[in-house]
Structure 1
Amino acid sequence: MLRSLFRFLLGLVLLSVAVALLAVVLVVEREPSLSESPPPAPEDVLAARGFAHSVKRALAGEGEPEPVVVTEARFNSMVRLGARFLPGFRGRVTLEEGAVRGEASAPVPFTRGALWVNAAATAPEFEGEFALGSLRVGRLNLPPGLSLEAGRIAANLLFGNGVGDTVAGAATRLDVEGDAASITLAIRQVGGNRVARGVFGALRGSALPPPEAVEREMARIAGAMARGELPAEGSFLPHIRFALASALDSAAAEGPAEAYTASILALASICGARDFTTVIGGLVDHRVEAGFEDADCSPLTLNGRIDSRRHFITAAAVQAASNRGYSVTLGEFKELHDIAAAGGFDFTDIAANNSGIRMSNRMMAAPAGEWPALLARIGEESDVIIDYAGLPSIMPDEEFRARFGDIESEAYAAMLAEIEARIDGLPLHKAN
């Protein structure tokens, strides 16, 4: 009896291994199906920003949202930007007659590009409920309906907050004509900030602090500003110290990383960059309490610059809510946007971004017992943000390409390494 049971279990294990190996053989390939795409360019950031604004406009009015029209070129601009978050990823969107076709190639981790997973899917025109027309992964043709349902469940489990349900019901109609797709959204009906909180929580590796905790910190900061306890002009450093001290007060009960995240999200919501506050706002879901309207950060500076204050605190907040790759890449996208729309690429902005990111890393990695000593190190701006001397400032597109090529060049990487080396030397980051 025991021998028969053992043989059955052994056979089941061997069958499972064989099925897994067969799946690997059918899914994993030695070459990517897509050629490597160029790195994101300024026009890609402008295209993605235009799409975001069109979605915002479509959802802003009363009644049913207006359709959002997306060209094939704009789709592929957003794919190139997204690939920056996933090293080695390649993607392409093609508009066919009556359908949108997406293709992707992704390297298998730890194989150094020796193995790839290639996939292709089509989404036909629809009205009502989104459905896939076809799905191929490697050499396997998968059932579209079952795969879509599995993806919805997986997104719910991975991101929480019903993200899979929200995304699956985000559109109610798709029409394709020529080189443009018209998408009717239903996000207003599906609701809220669940997608933002779920995605950022997954990037971060843990759930974000509840909105009430961020609202509490906003009330503390705004109250101190309204009472004159924090300066209305000059250096932004007192506001940083106040937020860190407030986080320390809550660290014993909530944990230092959670308390820090709530406080830094609150400070970024009040004093962060105008464009990127939209990103933070999707995580906070705060209500404007009495007194918040008096919390005017507009004259406050870091390194004598208003934009450095915005870059520093917003990057610190995005880092606290996600991970380093995401926050660094957002900073790059902001500078690429500025090449096309605001004068040029500015490494001093990158320096402010990365200084804020590193502050978040330092504080969130430290146990609560070390926080008083870390706060004692922050007495001047030069303790948390590097000096900009020698860093290239605003460069038009032609000058940036002549000096650095693109954001994947060796020259660009060397400049980022210089910025990181300077941050290593700040008092906040020195080893005792």
Structure 2
Amino acid sequence: MKRPSRRLLLLALAALCFLSPLLGLALALQTEPRLPELHSRLGPAELARGRQLLRQLDPRRLPADSVSELRLREADLNTLLAQSGQRAQLQLRRDGARLQASLPWKLGPWPVWLNLELELDSPSWVGGAVWPQPRRLRIGRLPLPPGLSLRLARSVVERRFGTAPWAAVEMVEAVRLDEAAVWLRWRWQPQQAAAALAGLWPQAEQEALRAQHRRWQALVGQLQPPRPSVELAQLLPELAREALARVEGGQAAAAELRALWLQLALRSVGRDPGRLIGDPDTRPSPGLRLAGREDMAQHFLISAWLAAQGAGQLGDALGLAKELSDTQRGGSGFSFNDLAADRAGERIGRLGGRRPLELLRLLAQQPQETAFFPKVADLPEFLSRQRLQQDYGGVDGPGYRALMTEIERRIDALAVHRGLSGGAP
């Protein structure tokens, strides 16, 4: 029997080397996501849990080098994944966890999906350089060596954020998984946290906020006489023009718009954004008003900023939960005009997320409050829980839904929404 020639063997080997990556891609990439869109509705109970976690994570009350423990339930983690818009789900087990995720990918002009399944082992507390270890990794129909998963994850994170996240990760001293929760033991290191924050916050957005901050200081310096608060419409067009000038100089419109919302949201609650960039105010700065009220500006601007970060549903839930809590004894009562301000802010924030340059242009040209904020003075407020139930059927009643439909109609009629197609929710 004639042996295959060396040339034929080399050709076969070359073909195998060429076809193997293609075969791997064919097995890994799929045309449909394995997981559906996971929407988790945040109610008062979930928000109360979120506030509890934030208090546990808030390091400002901790001395440097102090050690704390945090328990994250499976439901907490999956709610965070759903609210961040990820098609991902975590299942905890006594000795580990199973993570499933469907990640969108672009293969030239074709949208495809990476359907990932990762199993982790974590039999007990592990710490130091040891983390829960990968047991099995599969992407689509392609099984991969488990040890490759951590290298892939590190590569993806560093491509998106650089090495900054590892400064925060290094504060975690130990991890444990069980069937109910993930337990973290972490040591508060202010310098490492500052390094992580500085690295995670893109330089372009820091520069955008610095430009907004300086323009604010110049505008406020022109106010004579100085005043405790100023109407948002008096300053918003000028700040939008500052952002537009930077966009014309080559900066990204989305980053400039996010910096504008961040500054205004902080100003509305009396916070100095200059502290974030090492340039604090040297003199008192005024608050902001909408419809003649500071609370309207707070609702509108915080919701706009949240929505610009992709957290619009969270902003809606926070607003509703706040109004429900106000119906309790000692609260100010349920307010439809607060909800209208929340919704107007959430809508304009999402609109800017889709079309930042066009929105900046409209804001720069619209000096009137009625261009971006609906009429709210006639909406009911100071409602007790009993009155809300009696007159509107509660937050799911026909009266409540009818009034919220009217609020949406008023927002749709605003110039910034009429001026941009696709502004509907």
Q: How far apart are the structure 2 equivalents of 1:301 and 1:308?
A: 7
- Counterpart position of 2:192: 190
**Offset from partner CA, 1:273-296 (integer Å, 9 cap, x none):** 87xx9xx89xx832352425x113
- Counterpart position of 1:330: 314
- Counterpart position of 1:64: 65
Q: Is structure 2 residue 284 aligned with structure 1 residue 287?
A: no
Q: Is structure 2 residue 210 aligned with structure 1 residue 215?
A: yes
3-state DSSP class of the match of 2:344? helix
- Counterpart position of 2:26: 21
Identity score, percent: 17
3-state DSSP class of the match of 1:67? strand
8 A contact 2:92–2:177 mirrored in 1: no
8 A contact 2:89–2:99 mirrored in 1: yes
Q: How many angstroms does 1:243 deviate by? A: 1.5
Q: Which runs of 5+ in 2 are unaligned?
A: 1-5, 107-112, 328-333, 421-425
Identify if the C-alpha distance between structure 1 residues 10 and 35 changes in structure 2 by more than 3 Å, giving closer, same or farther: closer
Q: How far apart are the structure 1 equivalents of 2:72 and 2:252?
A: 45
Alignment-mate amino acid for residue 76 of structure 2: S
- Counterpart position of 2:75: 76
Alignment-mate amino acid for residue 348 of structure 1: A
Q: Is structure 2 residue 175 aligned with structure 1 residue 174?
A: yes
Alignment-mate amino acid for residue 266 of structure 1: Q
Query: Which segment is superposed worse, 345-354 or 387-396?
Result: 387-396
8 A contact 1:301–1:309 mirrored in 2: yes
- Counterpart position of 1:268: 265
Identify if the C-alpha distance between structure 1 residues 135 and 145 changes in structure 2 by more than 3 Å, giving closer, same or farther: same
Identify if the C-alpha distance between structure 1 residues 108 and 303 changes in structure 2 by more than 3 Å, giving closer, same or farther: same
8 A contact 1:241–1:375 mirrored in 2: yes
Q: How far apart are the structure 2 equivalents of 1:395 and 1:359?
A: 33
Identify if the C-alpha distance between structure 1 residues 260 and 40 changes in structure 2 by more than 3 Å, giving closer, same or farther: closer
Identify if the C-alpha distance between structure 1 residues 146 and 3 changes in structure 2 by more than 3 Å, giving closer, same or farther: closer
Mapping 1:92-171, distance limit 5 Å:
92-94=90-92, 96=94, 101-104=97-100, 106=102, 117-123=116-122, 124-138=124-138, 143-157=145-159, 159-166=160-167, 168-171=169-172
Alignment-mate amino acid for residue 280 of structure 2: E
Q: How many angstroms does 1:148 deviate by? A: 1.7
Alignment-mate amino acid for residue 411 of structure 2: I
3-state DSSP class of the match of 2:67? coil
8 A contact 2:340–2:376 mirrored in 1: yes
Q: Is structure 2 residue 301 aligned with structure 1 residue 313?
A: yes
Alignment-mate amino acid for residue 169 of structure 1: E
Q: Which runs of 5+ in 1 are unaligned?
A: 201-206, 405-410
Alignment-mate amino acid for residue 25 of structure 2: A
Q: How many angstroms does 1:331 deviate by? A: 0.9
| CA RMSD, 1 decimal | 4.8
Q: What's the TM-score, normalizing by structure 2?
A: 0.70
Alignment-mate amino acid for residue 51 of structure 1: L
Q: How far apart are the structure 2 equivalents of 1:362 and 1:401?
A: 29
Q: How far apart are the structure 1 equivalents of 2:115 and 2:81?
A: 18
In the alignment, which of 35, 47, 50 is matched to residue 49 of structure 2?
Answer: 47
3-state DSSP class of the match of 1:386? coil
Identify if the C-alpha distance between structure 1 residues 120 and 140 changes in structure 2 by more than 3 Å, giving closer, same or farther: farther
**Offset from partner CA, 1:94-152 (integer Å, 9 cap, x none):** 363xx563544548789xxx996544434452221241233444587755544223211
Q: How far apart are the structure 1 equivalents of 2:24 and 2:52?
A: 46
Q: How many angstroms does 1:314 deviate by? A: 2.9
Identify if the C-alpha distance between structure 1 residues 424 and 255 changes in structure 2 by more than 3 Å, giving closer, same or farther: farther
8 A contact 2:126–2:176 mirrored in 1: yes
Q: How far apart are the structure 2 equivalents of 1:79 and 1:208?
A: 31
Q: Is structure 2 residue 271 aligned with structure 1 residue 252?
A: no
Alignment-mate amino acid for residue 147 of structure 1: S
3-state DSSP class of the match of 2:375? coil
Q: How far apart are the structure 1 equivalents of 2:252 and 2:130?
A: 42
3-state DSSP class of the match of 1:101? strand
8 A contact 2:84–2:311 mirrored in 1: no
Which structure would you say has the larger Rg? 2
8 A contact 1:218–1:270 mirrored in 2: no
Number of corresponding residues: 390
Q: How many angstroms does 1:170 deviate by? A: 4.0
Q: How far apart are the structure 2 equivalents of 1:249 and 1:400?
A: 47
- Counterpart position of 1:203: none
3-state DSSP class of the match of 2:223? coil
Alignment-mate amino acid for residue 311 of structure 2: S
In the alignment, which of 375, 380, 392 is matched to residue 364 of structure 2?
Answer: 375
- Counterpart position of 2:357: 365
